[in-house]
């Protein structure tokens, strides 16, 4: 189930209006980045309602088997979860996440020349958190935790807990509740990755390296 769509229906209604089919399809793709894949299906001609199309769960993307094969090239569809993974990879899967480093330097009123051992920014994988008081606790696994120190083993200057979303993917209610509770004691960041022209598919070739005769 797509949680973001459920939230949209609860906030508005079961009927959503768009200026065009293209706009509706774009909305479906955006929602798919936050949960289950969705698709637009035109209403049947004899449908008694005044609905032009339905927004349905799409259980057919070819993410486990190729959607198309051209010789030794396999083309797979990109599932909804891969969009979120793509945004996280661009931001985090590098030796030095430059965007995060830039943010920290802009955010903290530090004169790096006055630091004893130099500014050290450590981006760590997020771990399970349970925040709040008994009876009102919310669970959350941040995408990453950023720890800023004076030197590798020096005192902690600042700490950030981060949640990363790609495109128009929404933050889940449970995530928001946990982040707001944690923000009473810690710095919490919502990071939105805006990537133009997200791909619908990817293609690859795999060749085994053979030892020389």
Residue-wise pLDDT tens digits, 127-154 = 999 888 777 788 899 999 999 998 888 8
18 in a domain, yes or no? yes
73 in a domain, yes or no? no
Across 5-9, 59-63, 95-99, 203-207, the highest mean pLDDT is recorded for: 203-207
What's the pTM value of the predicted model, to 2 decimals? 0.64
In total, how many domains does the chain have? 2
Structural domain for 127, as ranges: 80-193
Asked if residue 148 and residue 44 are part of one domain, the reply reads: no
Asked if residue 114 and residue 20 are part of one domain, the reply reads: no
Asked if residue 186 and residue 84 are part of one domain, the reply reads: yes
- With tokens 């004899």, the residue in question is 46
Asked if residue 87 and residue 158 are part of one domain, the reply reads: yes
- With tokens 């005192």, the residue in question is 155
112 in a domain, yes or no? yes
Domain-terminating residue out of 12, 27, 60: 60
Contact 118, 101 (CB under 8 A): no
Q: From residue 43, give the alpha-carbon distance in Å to each of 6, 46, 166.
A: 21, 8, 30
Asked if residue 23 and residue 113 are part of one domain, the reply reads: no
Contact 97, 91 (CB under 8 A): yes
Asked if residue 125 and residue 29 are part of one domain, the reply reads: no
Kindly tell me if the per-residue pLDDT of 123 is higher than 60: yes
187 in a domain, yes or no? yes
Asked if residue 96 and residue 55 are part of one domain, the reply reads: no
| Gap between the terminal Cα atoms of the chain | 54
Structure tokens belonging to residue 166: 């790609």
Q: What tens digit of pLDDT does each residue of 55-99 get?
A: 776 655 677 888 889 999 999 888 767 778 888 998 998 888 999
Q: Tell me, what DSSP letter sits at residue 120? A: E
Instruction: Please report the pLDDT score of residue 59 as a whole number.
Output: 55
Asked if residue 85 and residue 187 are part of one domain, the reply reads: yes
Contact 3, 172 (CB under 8 A): yes
Instruction: Please report the pLDDT score of residue 189 as a whole number.
Output: 96
What long-range pairs does 4-12 form, CB within 8 A, spacing at least 24?
4/31, 4/34, 4/35, 4/169, 4/170, 5/31, 5/35, 5/38, 5/55, 7/170, 7/173
Asked if residue 25 and residue 96 are part of one domain, the reply reads: no
CA distance 60 to 111: 54
């Amino acid at each position: 189930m797509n949680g973001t769509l459920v939230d949209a229906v609860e906030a508005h209604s079961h009927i959503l209006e768009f200026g065009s089919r293209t706009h509706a399809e774009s909305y479906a793709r955006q929602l798919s980045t936050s949960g289950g894949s969705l698709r637009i299906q035109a209403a049947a001609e004899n449908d008694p309602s005044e609905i032009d199309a339905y927004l349905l769960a799409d259980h057919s993307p070819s993410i486990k088997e190729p959607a198309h094969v051209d010789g030794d090239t396999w083309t797979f569809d990109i599932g909804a979860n891969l969009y979120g993974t793509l945004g996280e990879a661009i931001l985090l899967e590098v030796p030095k996440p430059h965007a995060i480093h830039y943010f920290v330097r802009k955010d903290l009123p530090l004169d790096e020349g006055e630091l004893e051992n130099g500014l050290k920014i450590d981006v760590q994988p997020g771990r399970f958190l349970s925040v709040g008081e008994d009876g009102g606790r919310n669970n959350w696994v941040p995408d990453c935790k950023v720890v800023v120190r004076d030197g590798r083993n020096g005192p902690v200057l600042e700490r950030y807990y981060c949640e990363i979303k790609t495109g128009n993917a929404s933050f889940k209610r449970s995530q928001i509740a946990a982040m707001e509770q944690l923000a009473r004691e810690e710095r919490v960041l919502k990071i939105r990755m805006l990537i133009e022209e997200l791909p619908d598919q990817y293609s690859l070739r795999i060749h085994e390296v053979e030892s020389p005769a």
